[in-house]
Amino acid sequence: MIDFTGKVAMVTGGSRGIGLSIATRLYQLGCSLAILDVDEAGAQQAAGGLSGKGQAIGLGADVSSAAQVETAVAAAEQQLGPIDILVNNAGLTRDGLLIRMSEGDWDLVLDVNLKGPFLMTKLVGRNMMKRRAGRIVNVASVVGITGNAGQANYAASKAGLIGFTKAVAKELASRGVLLNAVAPGFIDTEMTRSLPETARQALLTQIPLQRLGQPDDVASAVVFLASDLASYITGQVLVVDGGMVM
């Protein structure tokens, strides 16, 4: 059984959806936990809703701001101790056809989805390197592998995150820090629930397992990559999509 007792985890974008599922699983397996979200009240509410032996705190920060990231990480490590597991989950979409996409929508998606993991990994990874131990898991997307019409900014950010994962994994491996990514497919979240039923059925025809994934399916993959079971795995992308892009 996986046991993270004594470990400290930080999950960005952890107040709801996939991020909250990841945070909850890590906490249930023994981690002390910092939930980091641009919605500070949401992060605090999510942390307060967890019950168990470990400590859970909620912190507010925009992951695309170096100053806010530094403040949040310092606060987490002051209250919980050095971070052993970092999950870069924070992300957003601003969909639209390329010809109609604004520069602001392009910049926002790249800043949060790609610059955010850069800032978080640079700061937390430096401390992990000093201790010669650590796990970093980036939440990418199958869209970063296949592309998707109407999501040029999102696909570029997630493809960039996959490349970032592989490059930085090579840099940190000699210091005992393992870096991997998960690439979810269509997951049953608020976004997919808002789709018309015809659109949901159309999605299912693309998935060999004939169901949408659950946030906990992604959380299970993250837990595995953060655990000692994955101690000889780094620089990899674990696709969690029900077989959609096999």
Tokens representing 81? 């101790």
Q: Please, are residues 9 and 32 in contact by the beta-carbon 8 Å criterion?
A: yes
- State the first-to-last Cα distance of the chain, in angstroms, to the nearest integer: 29
Cα distances (Å, whole numbers) of residue 62 to 46, 110, 140? 17, 13, 18
Instruction: State the Cα–Cα distance between residues 59 and 128, nearest whole angstrom.
Output: 21
> Angle, nearest 10°, between helix axes 116-131 and 152-172?
10
What is the side-by-side strand order in the sheet with 56-60? 56-60, 32-37, 8-12, 85-88, 134-139, 177-184, 237-240
Catalytic residue among 118, 154, 164, 186: 154
Cα angle, residue 96 at apex, residues 90 and 99 outer, rounded to 5°:
130
Looking from the CA of 13 toward its CB, the CA atoms found within 13 Å total 18
Residue 232 annotated to the active site: no
Q: Which residues are catalytic?
A: 154
